[in-house]
Structures are given as C-alpha cells and as structure tokens.
Structure 1
Amino acid sequence: MSELVARTGRHQQRYEAGCRLIAGCIPFRFRCSEGSDGNKSEKIVEVLMINSTSGPGLLFPKGGWENDETVEEAAAREALEEAGVRGELMHFLGHYHFKSKTLQDEFSPEGRCRAAMFALSVKEELASWPEQNRRIRTWITIPEALLCCRHSWIREALENGFSKWCDEGMVRTMKPTNNQLDACEVSNTN
C-alpha cells in the first residue's frame, strides 16, 4: 500500500466572488450503550473532531476545494488527510461563511471563506494518516461537541446543519454497519 500524503499549497485552490471555497465534513458514527432495561442497546450519535493547529478548541476536517476535484471529493479528502477516516457522504449540510486571518491572499485579501459541509458516516478509521503528527482526533457526543467548537461557524454547522438533520430522523433511521453492531455486542458484554 502506498503512503498517504496530504496535498499542500494553493495553486489549485478555488475562489468565487472573493471567497476561498472550502469543503469539509462532520464525521459521525453510532456508539451503543446499555438501555434503561439493562439489556437493549441504544444508538448514540458521536461526531469526530480534531484539534486546531493554531489554538485551543476543536474543529471538523475541512480545507481548500481544489480545481481538479468535486466538492464531495474535497470533503472526503480532507476527512482522510486531517482525521484519518473514510466513509460515505450522507447529506449536504449547507454553506457556512467565515473570515480567516490565516487564509488571506491575493484572491481573498479579507480572508473570506465559504465552506460546503457534509455529514460523513465513518466506515473506516485508519491507524496512520497524513496529518497524524499534527492532529488528535476525538469522538464525542453532539452536546459535548457544541461546547468544544473553536469557531462559531463550526458550531452553526453542527447545530443548524447536522443536529437538525439528526433531529429529522435521518441518522436514527440509518442501519448501523456490521462493525458498529459488533462494537455494541463487545461493549455490552464488558
């Protein structure tokens, strides 16, 4: 297997109307817990967040959308590079606007960005990934994640995009994968 490498540089970066175009995702999985009767498992949704390399707080994987890929491909690539996860993009959560001091350049001097965010059902968590030396990944519940978000736009994507989608029953009606079911059985026997 060849070594995974993160893309760097901005020579392929997409811009539109003075905004740098960003693609990202909210990776999620089901964690099973003991039900109130002591036997049945309840599905709890957890999201995967990563540390910021520029200060306190947590983020979701995201980065520049490049000219040679679709926005979906860019979101999946960022999840792989920054968090070391692969999965299935389940739902477009919306566009979120923000300003970044670190992303200012000649095409976006004010650092304006527009992030297209997706829900990513995690199918595989890699032991080794491109940014593993710079990133720590953490699985947490949605209420915990809302408290940890580094930026307000990330909290908005989680609260008004992902949580709304969950509340509409989209996540609850998904069938857990065999690995997730196996994890329920293991955790309930311990």
Structure 2
Amino acid sequence: MTHLVARTGRHQQRYEEGCRLVAGCIPYRYRTSNETSGDKSNDSVEVLMINSQSGPGLLFPKGGWENDETKEQAALREALEEAGVQGEIMEFLGFYEFKSKTHQDELSPEGLCRAAMFALLVTEELVSWPEQSMRQRRWLTIPEAEEHCRHSWMKKALQEGFSKWHASKMQHDNAENQSPDSADRDTSS
C-alpha cells in the first residue's frame, strides 16, 4: 500500500489579479437506506464536510490550486488529502470569492481568494488519508450542512451552486426516465 502525503508549502501557488486561487469540492452521495432506496432526490442526497482546524463549524475540502495542476486536479487532490474521499467531478459550480485571515502574503496582502468549486460524486471513502489525524468527516443532509457551515461563501456555494445544480439534474433525470422512448432504450440489447 502506498502512503499518501499532503502537499505543503506555497512555492507553486497560483495567483490572479491579487487573489490566491484555490480549488475545492462539495463531495456528495445518495443515502442507501431502505426508505430511500433508488431515490436520488434532494431528500436523499448527503454532502461530506470536515472539521475546521481554526475554530467551530464545518468546511468542504479546499486548498491551494498549484501551477502544475488543473483546477479539477487540485479539487480532487484536496478531497483526498483533507477528507479521504475519491470520486468523479460531476459539475463546476462556479468561482466564489472570500478573504482569508490566515493566508495573507506579498502576492495577496489582503488575503483575497477565489475558489473554484465542484460537485464531486464520492465513489470511495478511504480508511486512511493524509490529514486523518487532524480532520473528522461528517455526512450531512443539505439543511444540516447549511446549519453547520463555517463560512458564508461555502454556504453560498452549497445553496446557489450545488443545490440548484442538483435540483436541475434531478429534474432532467426524471424527465428522461418519463420520456416515451426511454422504454425503447431499456429493452434494446
């Protein structure tokens, strides 16, 4: 088994227009209880959050987007390092700006950050991951996640990005399942 190690340092950190660029994701899954079996509505979706190291509240995995990776690769790396999950990026949710009190430097003296956020369908939860000694992970419903979210920009990404995208996806999936030619596709082999 290979041992995973989190990247550290800022020598490869990307900046744009005085903002530190970060990438992150909202990891999600569908509940598999008997009562919601096969149900992929907003009621059955859960999102994964991790504890903050600098105070109360929960976070979505995110971190510095580095020069040698795409924003998607950075988001996948952060999900693995901080939350110990792997999966498939399903949607780009948008860019969200915020100020960081802990990440002020000469290239971003005011701590301005721009986060590229993605919806990540979790396919694997690792037993061991780089930041497991510092992080606990918690699966929550969307209302629970909104209540426990530490940062307003992350709550906005959840509400305006993820929830709207997921509702639209469910509407589209349901419409496809109801279309007359979907029965033809199902029976043809």
TM range (shorter): 0.7 to 0.9
Does the 8 Å CA contact 1:165/1:171 hold for their aligned counterparts? no
Paired position in structure 1 for 2:178: none
Specify whether residues 171 and 136 from structure 1 end up closer, same or farther in structure 2 by C-alpha distance, changes over 3 A only. farther
C-alpha deviations, 1:100-149, integer Å up to 9, x for none?
A: 01010010000000000000000000000000000000001001000010
1:42 has 2:42 as partner = no
- Calculate the TM-score normalised by the size of structure 1: 0.86
Q: Between Structure 1 and Structure 2, which shows a larger proportion of strand residues?
A: 1
Q: Distance in 1 between matches of 2:148 and 2:17?
A: 31
Equivalent residue letter for 1:103: H
Q: How many residues align?
A: 171
Paired position in structure 2 for 1:128: 128
Q: Distance in 2 between matches of 1:172 and 1:142?
A: 20
**Unaligned regions of 5+ residues in structure 1, if any?**
175-190
Paired position in structure 1 for 2:82: 82
- 1:14-93 alignment to 2 at 5 Å? 14-35=14-35, 42-43=39-40, 44-93=44-93
Identical pairs, percent: 71
Does the 8 Å CA contact 1:99/1:111 hold for their aligned counterparts? yes
Paired position in structure 2 for 1:13: 13
Report SS of the residue matched to 1:42.
Answer: coil
- 1:140-179 alignment to 2 at 5 Å? 140-170=140-170, 173=173
Paired position in structure 2 for 1:100: 100
Q: Between Structure 1 and Structure 2, which shows a larger proportion of helix residues?
A: 2
Q: Distance in 2 between matches of 1:158 and 1:77?
A: 20
Report SS of the residue matched to 2:30.
Answer: strand
Structure 1 position 171, deviation (Å): 8.7
Report SS of the residue matched to 1:69.
Answer: coil
Report SS of the residue matched to 1:29.
Answer: strand
Does the 8 Å CA contact 1:34/1:42 hold for their aligned counterparts? no
Report SS of the residue matched to 2:47.
Answer: strand
Q: Distance in 2 between matches of 1:76 and 1:35?
A: 31
Does the 8 Å CA contact 1:33/1:41 hold for their aligned counterparts? no
Q: Distance in 2 between matches of 1:170 and 1:87?
A: 19
Specify whether residues 172 and 134 from structure 1 end up closer, same or farther in structure 2 by C-alpha distance, changes over 3 A only. farther
Structure 1 position 167, deviation (Å): 1.2
Q: Distance in 1 between matches of 2:64 and 2:101?
A: 15
CA RMSD, 1 decimal: 1.7
- Calculate the TM-score normalised by the size of structure 2: 0.86
Structure 1 position 2, deviation (Å): 1.5
Report SS of the residue matched to 2:140.
Answer: strand
Bigger Rg over Cα:
2
Q: Runs of at least 4 residues of structure 1 off by over 6 A?
A: none
Structure 1 position 169, deviation (Å): 2.6
